Every structure is written in structure tokens, then in C-alpha cells.
Amino acid sequence: MQLTPHFSMEEVTESEYAVRYGIDNQTTDEHILANIKVAALGMEQVRMLLGHPCKINSWLRVEELEKIAAHKDYIGWCKRHTLSVDDASWFMYFTRKGHPKGYCIDFTCRLFGTPAEVVAKIRASGIRYDQLICEGTWVHISFAPAMRGEVLTATFIKGEPSYTTEA
């Protein structure tokens, strides 16, 4: 199903991890599908701004997939919040995540430039977003309703991310 001129539902649900681990990364939840459509419209603006195709690395991640994809981030989050790694802390962590809600997209646009250059271009544009993160080798963007305009840079130590706010 084509969501916008340049983004399809196939791109939303495609995941190498899901294939590798036999996870069904589809959703029929109407609320999540509505979120995906909002994010697709935002990504269409990004695509037009950059003038080149965007390679989607990760968009929708169902809970089982999120447990695998965000494992190191989850462990670091538990450490920062002095929480045990258990079902209760997973629930707290998971409920704040945007990929499972369909709002967040990890992508690259190599024909435009580096992730840092992509972030700078989006930041300087009039595109509204909730969160924009330079994740080193990719860009993370969120179109969650808060639309905070938050810009971060991720640093990875032994695969565990930490984030700094860009002024």
C-alpha cells in the first residue's frame, strides 16, 4: 500500500531483524496506522527537502522486535534510572518508545550527505518534528504529536547510546 508518493507500507514494516528472528512486524491497530500516515507525510516533506530518496532503516517495530532492536538502549536506560532489568521497567521503557507507535523513522540519504548534514538541513527548514537525532551513521526523526523540535546527537560506547541536546 502506497502511503505517500515516495513511501509505502512495505518500507514501514520492513526489518532485517524481523526476518532474521521470524517476527511478524505488521500491525492492524488503527491508531498506529494513523500515526504511520502522519509520519509518512512528515517523511514526504523530508524527502522533498533533501531532493533525493531516503533509505528507511527502521520504522515500525512491534514489541517483540523492539526488545531486540533497542536492547542496549534499554539496558542503558535502566542504568541511568537505577532500575532493574525486568518486566516492570521494560513496560515503563516501552511505553515511551515511538517506533512501536509508528511515529519514528531511522533513515539515511546518502545522495544528499552525511547524517549530520541531513540533520542540519532538516533543522534549518520549516519542517515540524518532535525529535531529530544524529545517530552517527543514520538519522532518527519522530513526528509524535508533542512536536517539541528537540535535536540530539547520539554517542555510542560499547554499543550503548547516550544523548546530548543540541542548542
Domain CATH for 87 = 3.30.1380.10
Quick check: helix, strand or coil at residue 112?
coil
Q: How many domains does the chain have?
A: 1
Note down the domain range covering 30: 2-165
| Contact criterion met (CB below 8 Å) for 96 and 144 | no
Res 104: pLDDT: 97
End-to-end Cα spacing for the chain? 39
- The average pLDDT across 56-70 equals 95
136: left (phi over 0), alpha (psi -120 to 50) or beta: left
CA dihedral (127, 132, 136, 139) positive or negative: negative
Res 157: pLDDT: 82
Look up residue 55 and give its amino acid: K
List pLDDT tens digits, range 9-46. Answer: 999 999 999 999 999 999 999 999 999 999 999 999 99
- Beta-ladder partners of 7: 4
Res 94: pLDDT: 95
List pLDDT tens digits, range 88-123. Answer: 999 999 999 999 999 999 999 999 999 999 999 999
List pLDDT tens digits, range 123-158. Answer: 999 999 999 999 989 999 999 999 999 999 998 887
pTM: 0.92
